[in-house]
Amino acid sequence: MPYAVITGGTQGIGRAVAEKLLSQGFSVAICGRNKLLLQQLHGEWSARYPSEKIVTYTADVSVPEQVAEFAAAVQASFPVVDILVNNAGTFRPGALASEPAGMLEYLMGVNLYSAYHLTRELLPGMIHQRQGHIFNMCSVASLRAYPNGGAYSITKYALLGFSDNLREELKQYNIRVTALCPGATYTASWAGSGVDPERIMEAADVAEMLWSAWHLSARANVDTIVMRPQQGDL
């Protein structure tokens, strides 16, 4: 049985990835901040996928101690980690000259440091088994600057750099690293925005691309996946 770990797995892309992997026979561990939603998902998924082990854990991934606690819960429940999806992240628009003080530090904690710390916690086991696949949820904001990108765009550039460095380090252990760079994807953050949901991608589209990259032979690695709405970025 394969095992996957996903941060920010209660909604949007993270939830879509979890449900895709569960449907393919994976046991899944997710974390999120909403304890009630985690409990609801645990019950729903356990009923739909009774053969798979499901771990849900309440954690704020911007806090390193809570990341370590989540990792410990994963290691106590799963014998190995086949897929790690560093998906947790948050968006705050703003200009560097005028955004609130502390915005960069906050977004770094959620969008970059969470992936850094969780990966470091789980890597020894992946290196020991000499296999696995790490997916980091970057963004088209990792590739080029745009108005009101501010600190958010900086953190996504940094996450792409983390992915590239990690890939180089882990080649010798047969561990694959893929940076996923989706454009506008419909999640709860788009609700009430006035943007037609038909104009942007579905979270399930990103999950399908992740599955395709994982499903290749062990001799192939997809370094970076860039996805955009068919009509282009907003």
For residue 218 the two structure tokens come to 């062990």
Q: Which of 113, 80, 109 is nearest to 5 (CA)?
A: 80
Q: Which residues contact 209 (CB under 8 A, 6 or more apart)?
A: 180, 225, 227
Percent of the chain with pLDDT strictly greater than 70? 99
CA 197, CA 226: separation in Å to the nearest integer? Answer: 20
Q: What residues form DSSP beta bridges with 182? A: 227
Instruction: Choose the weakest-confidence range: 43-57, 58-72, 131-145, 180-194.
Output: 180-194
Domains, in order of start, for the chain: 3-227 (3.40.50.720)
Contact 148, 99 (CB under 8 A): no
User: Which residue is catalytic, options 113, 152, 157, 186?
Assistant: 152
- Per the annotation, the verdict on 152 as an active-site residue is yes
Query: pLDDT at position 205, please?
Result: 96
What confidence tens digit (pLDDT) does each residue in 73-106 have? 999 999 999 999 999 998 888 888 889 999 999 9
Crossing angle between the packed helical segments 114-129 and 150-170, to the nearest 10 degrees: 10
Query: pLDDT at position 186, please?
Result: 84
Check whether 232 has a pLDDT greater than 90: no
Question: Rounded mean pLDDT of 147-162?
Answer: 94
What confidence tens digit (pLDDT) does each residue in 169-210 have? 999 999 999 999 999 898 876 777 778 888 899 999 999 999
Question: Rounded mean pLDDT of 20-33?
Answer: 97
Check whether 127 has a pLDDT greater than 90: yes
Percent of the chain with pLDDT strictly greater than 90? 84
